[in-house]
Amino acid sequence: MKATDITAHPVPNKALYKVTEAMTMLSLSRSVIYEEIRSGRLRSVTRGRSRLIPANAIAEYVQLLEREAGNEVVA
């Protein structure tokens, strides 16, 4: 097991997360994360060449998903 394997080690609470960390936290693929960023549903910031996702943006995204799930009509 590699030290860089984030699935083996829980991600500590911090202010900014790498895309790979957000992928693990949200159980989404890289392409879905970037699509949600492009659509404006998931906020991110850049620092140099790195794209980072603020912790509060992840929480807001989860709340958005919960609100959308609450609006679904079960047929």
Per-residue pLDDT of the chain (75 residues), as tens digits, is 454 444 554 556 899 999 999 999 999 999 999 999 999 999 999 999 999 999 999 999 999 999 999 876 555
Number of domains in the chain: 1
Q: Is residue 20 part of a domain?
A: yes
By the 8 A CB rule, do 56 and 22 touch? no
Q: Is residue 49 part of a domain?
A: yes
Domain region containing 58: 16-70
Model pTM score = 0.76
Q: Is residue 50 part of a domain?
A: yes
Which of 14, 11, 18 is CA-nearest to residue 37? 18
Q: How far is Cα 56 from Cα 63, in angstroms, rounded to an integer?
A: 10
Q: Is residue 56 part of a domain?
A: yes
Q: How far is Cα 43 from Cα 13, in angstroms, rounded to an integer?
A: 18
pLDDT reported for residue 70: 87
pLDDT reported for residue 6: 47
By the 8 A CB rule, do 18 and 52 touch? yes
pLDDT reported for residue 18: 96
Neighbour count for residue 4 (Cβ, 10 Å): 8
